[in-house]
Structure 1
Amino acid sequence: MLRGEQSVSDLARRYPMSFAAVQKHVVVLERAALVTEQRRGREQRVRGNVDTLREARRLLDQLEVMWRQRVDSIDAILADRPEAEPNEGASSCH
């Protein structure tokens, strides 16, 4: 969809879902500014918004770096922690 413009009908043919379902997806994508929709007569034409997609990708890349750093920090904390004894904390009732 990023390469030029397509009709919603053309999109609906490419996916295993109804035309109405594709229309609903397009509305959601349009609200998110990921696509723009334009009416030409009875036809709805959709075009991907490349700039918004690039910005979304940039933000997702930043989030990935942040979460990887957090996981690495947790891994480091756990690696420094002595292993608990198998029966540690278990009370023995004889």
Structure 2
Amino acid sequence: MRGLLASLDSPTARAIADARLEPLRAHDAAAGSALLETVRTWLAHDARIDEAARVLGVHRHTVRARVAQAQQLLGVDLSSFPARAELWAALVAADATA
């Protein structure tokens, strides 16, 4: 990791990221869903539903429904770039522990 995103590799950033992502992790664990993986894939493909669906091997409506559910659980509107950027930063910080 380089540049500004490298600063997300810190204990503080990881703690914030873990707290931010906990609703998705908890839901996935309880329901056997794949919200976290779906949102990560969707964001990695520039929030393109069809591309994320292809990569995940699911129907585009499944991706759309999962993203909508993630928005509800996180209490954010992922149609806005700042919300997507913050979520991406949380995913990057969380990955720094892996």
- Give yes or no for TM over 0.5: no
TM category (shorter chain) comes to 0.3 to 0.5
Give TM-score, length-normalised by structure 2.
0.34
The answer to which structure has the higher helix fraction is 2
The answer to which structure has the higher strand fraction is 1
